Each structure stands twice: as structure tokens, then as C-alpha cells.
Amino acid sequence: MLVIASLLAGLVFGLGLIVSGMANPAKVLGFLNLAGPWDPSLALVMVGAIAVGLVAFHVARKRTTSLLGAAMELPISRQIDRRLVLGSVLFGVGWGIVGFCPGPAIVALGMGQAKAVVFVVAMLFGMGIFELFERRKQAVLMRA
Amino acid sequence: MSVDWNAFTSWSALVGGVLIGIAAAMFALLNGRIAGISGVIGGLLKPAPGDVAWRAAFVVGLLSAPLVYSLFAVLPELHIAAPSGTLVLAGLLVGIGTRYGSGCTSGHGVCGLSRLSPRSLVATATFMGAGFVTVYVIRHLLGI
């Protein structure tokens, strides 16, 4: 049941990205291009998503189990640290270069776009590099 | 700044945004989780027992969104201007950055802001700021 819910959530998320135009990197770059002819669409996508999200998370935060009986795994960290900021800077630069963030890149991959394949493979490689560093750090900590 | 009114697709942006919000709401209330694409994918790179199926299902949902959309309407065209080398660089940055910063546009941007998380507000402001600066440098300083 959880797997089906997950599949549906991914599907609706992807449909939202296509309907909103955000699967198209050119449209995202139109929003990030503040100094040029600016396309505010992405801001309205956020408004629509957050309007629904505010209600949903207000309800979710009070629950100890999900409607399907799964444990609630919402984040608890409140730490604003170097990792958060540095990681977000790297992500923002990559986002600004091409106009892809992870969700739209996966949807574009589903459209069979060859360039999306290149981007997603590099992104997975980047995530793999992160995992290797984390594992090495863990190993050093264990030895200490 | 000048708004590009021809490019501004207000209604589809809002409707698509609401769909994304519904997907995040479904995932939070049914699965008890944050619909953060980079986190969902990243977790597949360090597979743990019982932790793979729901992640894979979400990604399959995203991937199949174009197919489902195409049953009802003509898929919009994507414009990915960047050449392969640039796609690889951007993909690496997005992969490493989203994992190091614990989230992307969906996890921090949509879900985090909906949860009123100060951590996600800092992350979102940071990656959006980095995206604005990157596009400014590429388009207006380098003139590419």
C-alpha cells in the first residue's frame, strides 16, 4: 500500500512539474534571469504548492503515524550549519547553469530527452561522490 | 527588472504548483515522509533493507508522468540549451550540492517552507540566490 501511495505521489508530482512548465529548463532559467526579461512563473508554482503544503504539514506534524500506519519520518534537525549553506550554494550554481533541479531532470528523462540522460547520470555520480565522502568520514570517526 | 508578460504563464503555474502541493501532501500524510526528490534518489545509492521499494516507486511515478500526461494532452517541448560538458558539470554540482545541503527545490523549497522550517528557508534563499547570481554572470557578464 505504501509503495502504491509512493508511486501515485511521484506521478502527481511529475504531472505538476509538466503542467507548471517547470520540467522545461528554459522556463526555470527565465525565472532565475532577474536582470533580463523576467518570467515570474516559478514563484507562482511555489505559491500554489506551499498553499496546499501549509495545510498538509499542519495536519501531519500532529500525527504520530501516517494515514496508512507508517511511522512519521519528518525532519527534526533545526541546525543551520556550513553543510546546509555550502551544499545549497553548489546546488544553486548547478541549477543556474542548466536550469535543471532533480525532479524536472527525472521527468525530462521520462520524456526520453538525451540531454536529460547526460544530466541525470552526472547528478547520480555527484550523489555517489557525496556517499563515498560520507562513508570515508564515518570510517575515520569510527577509528578515532 | 522587467517582467516578461508573454512568458508568464500564471494559471498553469498556479495549477501545476497546486498539483505539486497535493503530491507533497499525499506523501506526508500517507507515507509520513518529505517529498524531497534528491533525498528520495540519494537514499537509493545506500540501499537499506525495506527502504528501497517506496523510493523506487516514487521515481517510477516521476518517470511515468510524461507518459500519463501524453494520454490527455500534447506534451510541452523542452528547451535544454546547454552542451554536454556543461550538463555534466551542472549535474555533478546539483548531485553533490543537494546531498550535502540535505535537499533541493522540493524538499527544502516546497516541503520545508510549508513546514515553516527556518533551516529550509535559509537553504531555499541560498540556492535561489546562487541561481540568480549564476544566471547573471553567465548571461549578463559573460554574455553567453
Decide if B5 is inside a domain. no
Angle between helical axes of B37-44 and A102-110 (0-180°, round to 10): 70
* pTM (two decimals): 0.96
Interchain contact, A74 vs B35, CB within 8 Å? no
**Is B72 within 8 Å of chain A by CB?**
no
- Name the B residues in 76-135 with CB < 8 Å from any A CB: 76-82, 84, 86-102, 104-106, 108-119, 122-124, 126-135
pLDDT of residue B4: 93
Interchain contact, A49 vs B15, CB within 8 Å? no
* Number of domains, chain B: 1
The set of cell numbers assigned to A91 is: 546546488
Decide if B4 is inside a domain. no
Distance (Å) from the C-alpha of residue A133 to the closest C-alpha of chain B? 10
Decide if B18 is inside a domain. yes
The residue-averaged pLDDT of B108-132 equals: 97
Tens of pLDDT, residues B12-62? 999 999 999 999 999 999 999 999 999 999 999 998 888 999 999 999 999
Interchain contact, A110 vs B64, CB within 8 Å? yes
Question: In angstroms, how far is the first alpha carbon of chain A from the final one?
Answer: 43
pLDDT of residue A46: 98
Query: Could you tell me which chain A residue has the CA closest to the CA of B2?
Result: A37
Ranges of H-type helices in A33-101: 41-60, 82-98
Interchain contact, B139 vs A120, CB within 8 Å? no
pLDDT of residue A142: 84
Stated as kind and residue range, the H or E segment containing B2 is strand B2-3
Q: What is the pLDDT along chain A (144 residues), one digit of tens a residue?
A: 899 999 999 999 999 999 999 999 999 999 999 999 999 999 999 999 999 999 999 999 999 999 999 999 999 888 999 999 999 999 999 999 999 999 999 999 999 999 999 999 999 999 999 999 998 988 888 887
ipTM attached to this prediction: 0.96
Position B58, amino acid: F
pLDDT of residue A58: 97
Residue numbers of the domain that contains B132: 10-141
Each domain of chain A, given as residue ranges in start order, spans 2-143
